[in-house]
């Protein structure tokens, strides 16, 4: 404790003031009685009144610093740390003023640091993709970030007035506060529930107060719907690839074993078996090629050669390349557009040609002999629309939503020809979407199919180089 000389202490100032006033009262009373011959009582009363006035004035000088300190502490109590006490005396009041100013500066600094950390934490929680809910011991929600409010469909009133159990029971009864505490008691810290086609994973734990006692629960929510979907797709992908590779490998091995067992002695049989082996090998090559391309598209490693180019000439080229295949089935492949027209698109010509060849090839494959396939190119506002329509065997309505799925084939035997890899339309859809377009399929089973590709067209004036393309 800080010590002061006796004559500087505030207590002794009061003592000195009291003694001075008593002495002054005694002197004044004596003067009034002896010099003015006043009655002693009257003289005493007058001296007391005069000393009171003097004491009030001098006492005010002593207590004014205390009043100032009281005002500053009141400001501090209301969160204002900007005040400073200006007392330069060498007594307890001066010491108190110094301590107050130092305490105020430290509190202001600490409060500023706490406010900064609080703002950082609030920003972090707000930007989190995962939801966070804090619940006190009575079950009331004390904090919920934006992600949690969205996941649990909470309004401001829900957060302010409702208990946590009132919210979570809308979705599941396995994650109430009581059941979470029961899980924590046996060392379990996670859970999962589903609603409305979404799946949420949860992690939870206690949070504690300054005395390390439980003060409530913290629940973290993570939407894993897309992750589970991707996991399932990967599982299906591996299963489908294994199946698609196993079929030609089994066929190749079977024919090869037959040839090794003596089939080579019959040249005609050997030639037939070798032809089948060659066909199955080509099929495997196509499958591996398509799988690699799909992998590049999925991972963003596909290289694109995007240039402004004429889509009409590209469609015309694709039709000419497929005409031989159509003529083998005596089909009518009709270009329903003006090949001299110019419509420009920002595109990778090779990839878009791959899409066109795949679509026209499917029409040829699934259209019977003497069938008709029409290909048209039209502008539609800011888009160009490429349509391939046939009067082939069509697609059952129940299968239409799945035609763009990987490895999905409506009927592997419906064309009467060797089947493809089941990746063509999936790859085509991916390529078109990378170009900012879309692809649609309409079909009536037994009547025909129409495939429409939409691509954003360029409306700027073409250059001489563009026209040459």
Decide if 133 is inside a domain.
Answer: yes
Q: Report the sign of the C-alpha dihedral through residues 459, 464, 466, 469, in that order.
A: positive
DSSP H helices in 78-203: 92-127, 146-151, 156-161, 164-168, 177-185
> Cα–Cα distances in Å, from 301 out to 287, 291, 295, 406, 435?
19, 13, 8, 19, 15
Q: In what order do the strands lie in the sheet with 383-390?
A: 332-335, 372-380, 383-390, 448-456, 438-444
CA angle 224, 226, 227 (to 5 degrees): 60
Question: Which SS3 state, helix, strand or coil, does residue 371 take?
Answer: coil
| pLDDT for residue 16 | 62
| Residue finishing a domain among 179, 200, 223 | 223
Paired tokens of 252: 């190749």
Q: Which helix (H) or strand (E) holds 344?
A: strand 344-347
| pLDDT for residue 223 | 86
| Cβ proximity of 347 and 309 under 8 Å | yes
98 lies in the same domain as 234: no
Paired tokens of 468: 């040459």
340 lies in the same domain as 419: yes
Q: Residue 290 belongs to a domain with what CATH number?
A: 1.10.287.130
38 lies in the same domain as 148: no
Q: Report the sign of the C-alpha dihedral through residues 34, 37, 41, 46, in that order.
A: negative
| pLDDT for residue 98 | 77
377 lies in the same domain as 332: yes
| Cβ proximity of 358 and 428 under 8 Å | yes
| pLDDT for residue 334 | 93
| Cβ proximity of 137 and 214 under 8 Å | yes
Q: What are phi and psi of 359, to 5 degrees?
A: -65, -50
Q: What are phi and psi of 217, to 5 degrees?
A: -125, 145
Q: Residue 183 belongs to a domain with what CATH number?
A: 3.30.450.20
pTM as predicted: 0.53
Decide if 122 is inside a domain.
Answer: no
315 lies in the same domain as 462: yes
Decide if 82 is inside a domain.
Answer: yes
Decide if 244 is inside a domain.
Answer: yes
**Who's near 143: CB < 8 A, 6+ residues apart?**
125, 132, 133, 134
Provide the total of helices (H) and of strands (E) in the chain, helices listed first. 13, 12
295 lies in the same domain as 313: no
| Residue finishing a domain among 223, 251, 270 | 223
352 lies in the same domain as 463: yes
| Cβ proximity of 132 and 221 under 8 Å | yes
Distance CA 327, CA 382 (A): 35
Distance CA 447, CA 462 (A): 40
Bridge partners of 444, per DSSP, are 448
Enclosing domain of residue 232: 228-299
| Residue finishing a domain among 208, 223, 238 | 223
Decide if 452 is inside a domain.
Answer: yes
Looking at the structure of the chain, the number of domains it has is: 4
| Cβ proximity of 253 and 247 under 8 Å | no
Distance CA 348, CA 428 (A): 13
Q: What are phi and psi of 387, to 5 degrees?
A: -120, 130
Q: Which residues of 97-117 are buried (b: 16+ CB within 10 A; e: fewer)?
A: beebbeebeeeeeeeeeeeee
Distance CA 452, CA 434 (A): 16
Question: Which SS3 state, helix, strand or coil, does residue 406 take?
Answer: coil
| pLDDT for residue 6 | 46
Among candidates 447, 392, 400, which has minimal Cα distance to 425? 400
Q: Which residues of 200-218 are buried (b: 16+ CB within 10 A; e: fewer)?
A: bbbebeeeeeeeeeeebbe
Decide if 263 is inside a domain.
Answer: yes
For residue range 55-93, list pLDDT tens digits in order.
666 666 666 677 777 777 777 777 776 777 766 666 667
370 lies in the same domain as 408: yes
Q: What are phi and psi of 336, to 5 degrees?
A: -100, 55
293 lies in the same domain as 312: no
| Cβ proximity of 395 and 402 under 8 Å | no
Decide if 118 is inside a domain.
Answer: no
For residue range 354-382, list pLDDT tens digits in order.
999 999 999 999 999 999 999 999 998 89
Decide if 253 is inside a domain.
Answer: yes
The span from the first CA to the last CA of the chain, in angstroms, equals: 95
CB atoms within 10 A of CB 182: 11
107 lies in the same domain as 168: no
Distance CA 147, CA 131 (A): 5
11 lies in the same domain as 54: yes
Residue listed under structure tokens 């009043």 = 67
Up-side HSE of residue 428: CA atoms within 13 Å toward CB? 25
**Who's near 213: CB < 8 A, 6+ residues apart?**
none
Which portions of the chain are predicted below pLDDT 70?
1-22, 24-26, 28-40, 43, 46-47, 51, 53-64, 81, 86-92, 118, 121-127, 210, 212, 410-421, 460-469
Task: Decide: residue 35, CB within 10 A, 0-12 exposed, 13-18 middle, 19+ buried.
Answer: exposed
Q: Which long-range contacts (CB under 8 A, 24 or more apart) does 82-86 make?
A: 82/108
Distance CA 240, CA 409 (A): 12
DSSP annotation of 163 = B
136 lies in the same domain as 99: no
């Amino acid at each position: 404790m800080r010590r002061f000389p006796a004559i500087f202490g505030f207590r002794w100032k009061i003592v000195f003031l009291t003694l001075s006033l008593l002495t002054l009262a005694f002197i004044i009373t004596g003067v009034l009685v002896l010099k003015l011959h006043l009655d002693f009582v009257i003289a005493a009363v007058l001296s007391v009144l005069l000393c009171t006035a003097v004491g009030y004035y001098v006492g005010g000088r002593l207590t004014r610093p205390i009043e100032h300190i009281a005002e500053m502490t009141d400001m501090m109590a209301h969160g204002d740390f900007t005040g400073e006490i200006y007392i330069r005396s060498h007594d307890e009041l001066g010491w108190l003023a110094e301590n107050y100013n130092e305490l105020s500066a430290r509190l202001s600094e600490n409060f500023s640091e706490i406010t900064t950390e609080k703002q950082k934490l609030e920003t972090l929680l707000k930007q989190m993709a995962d939801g966070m809910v804090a619940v006190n011991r009575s079950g009331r929600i004390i904090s919920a970030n934006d992600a949690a409010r969205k996941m649990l469909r909470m309004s401001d009133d829900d957060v302010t007035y409702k208990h946590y159990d009132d919210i979570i029971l809308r979705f599941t009864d396995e994650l109430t506060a009581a059941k979470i505490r029961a899980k924590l008691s046996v060392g379990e810290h996670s859970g999962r529930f589903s609603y409305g086609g979404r799946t949420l994973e949860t992690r939870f734990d206690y949070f504690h107060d300054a005395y390390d006692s439980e003060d409530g629960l913290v629940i973290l929510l993570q939407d894993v719907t897309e992750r589970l979907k991707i996991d399932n797709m990967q599982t299906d992908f591996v299963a489908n690839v294994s199946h698609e590779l196993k079929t030609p490998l089994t066929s190749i091995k079977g024919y090869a074993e037959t040839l090794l067992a003596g089939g080579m002695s019959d040249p005609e049989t050997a030639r037939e078996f070798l032809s089948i082996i060659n066909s199955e090998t080509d099929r495997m090559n196509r499958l591996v090629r398509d799988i690699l391309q799909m992998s590049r598209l999925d991972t963003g490693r596909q290289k694109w050669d995007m240039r402004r180019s004429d889509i009409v000439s590209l469609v015309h080229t694709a039709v000419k390349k497929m005409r031989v295949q159509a003529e083998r089935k005596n089909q009518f492949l009709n270009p329903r557009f003006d090949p001299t027209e110019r419509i420009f698109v920002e595109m990778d010509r090779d990839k878009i040609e791959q899409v066109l060849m795949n679509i026209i090839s499917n029409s040829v494959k699934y259209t019977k002999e003497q069938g008709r396939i029409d290909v048209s190119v039209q502008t539609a506002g800011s888009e160009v629309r490429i349509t391939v329509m046939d009067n082939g065997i069509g697609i059952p309505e129940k299968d239409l939503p799945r035609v763009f799925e990987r490895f999905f084939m409506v009927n592997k035997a419906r064309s009467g020809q060797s089947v493809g890899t089941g990746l063509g339309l999936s790859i085509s859809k991916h390529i078109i979407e990378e170009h900012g377009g879309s692809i649609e399929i309409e079909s009536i089973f037994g009547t025909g199919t129409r495939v429409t590709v939409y691509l954003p067209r360029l409306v700027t004036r073409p250059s001489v180089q563009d026209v040459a393309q």
